[in-house]
Amino acid sequence: MPWADFLLALTGGYAAYEFTKFAKGREGLKFLALASASCFFIFIEIAIIIGSFFTSSAVVTVIDFIVEWGQIISLSFILSSLVLLIRETRPSYEQFPLLYGALPFLIIISYFFALESELIRRWLFFIYQGGALVVGLLMYGSKVYQQKRYKMVLIGISGLFLAYLMYWTIPILRNNYPTSWKLVLLAGIVTTAYGYKSAVKK
């Protein structure tokens, strides 16, 4: 059994639990989107764990399909959460319509047009993931400047960004030592979820 993926599934469960508790009040939709992203993340990790017990090409194909589309849907929820975060930071008279928070889900539709090219699909993941993390770092960097209670969230997102760099820029880690970047990813998720828990309590 891939123990790193098992631990990631548990970590996703912890994040989903924490974000679901926050999914109420003015910021409810933002946290609901993060909770949904966490649930899809759990589903992905469970699929990977199950797939590790099979060698059949048919099973591998199904698992790859689940992982790929689970990632794009999870990423859409994360981007939606960031759009809602940006909306919250603006004065009420300058806030764009709440419906705009659903715009990131258009990437699911656009992804259909890239199915024929593996290279384009990889580039899309690279750009979407990197864009989400950069926006997250900028937004929470600004929040930390104003409110120190979000420091742990910023540290967690920095950990996620480090895992992103390890995966995309160091092929030997991605292909030969996947546990390394997965553990960094795990630490980033836990720190981010715990950071939100601490910030909301203050």
- How far are the Cα atoms of 6, 8, 73, 124 from residue 116, in angstroms, in the given order? 31, 30, 19, 13
Residue 54's pLDDT is 83
Task: Tell me the domain boundaries of the chain.
Answer: 3-201
- How far are the Cα atoms of 10, 44, 76, 88, 162 from residue 117, in angstroms, in the given order? 33, 22, 20, 37, 27
Q: Are the beta carbons of 180 and 173 closer than 8 angstroms?
A: yes
In this prediction, residues 56-71 reach a mean pLDDT of: 90
Mean pLDDT of the chain: 88
SS (H, E, C) 168-195: HHCHHHHHHCHHHHHHHHHHHHHHHHHH
pLDDT above 90: percentage of residues in the chain: 51
pLDDT digits (tens, 9 = 90+) for 116-166: 888 888 999 999 999 999 999 998 888 887 778 889 999 999 999 999 999
- Report how far residue 16's alpha carbon sits from residue 11's, in angstroms, rounded to the nearest whole number: 9
Q: Helix crossing, 118-146 with 151-169: angle to 10°?
A: 160
Q: Give the contacts of 122 (CB within 8 A, at least 6 positions apart).
A: none
Residue 93's pLDDT is 63
Annotation: CATH topology of 3-201: Rhopdopsin 7-helix transmembrane proteins (1.20.1070)
Residue 53 has pLDDT above 80, yes or no: yes
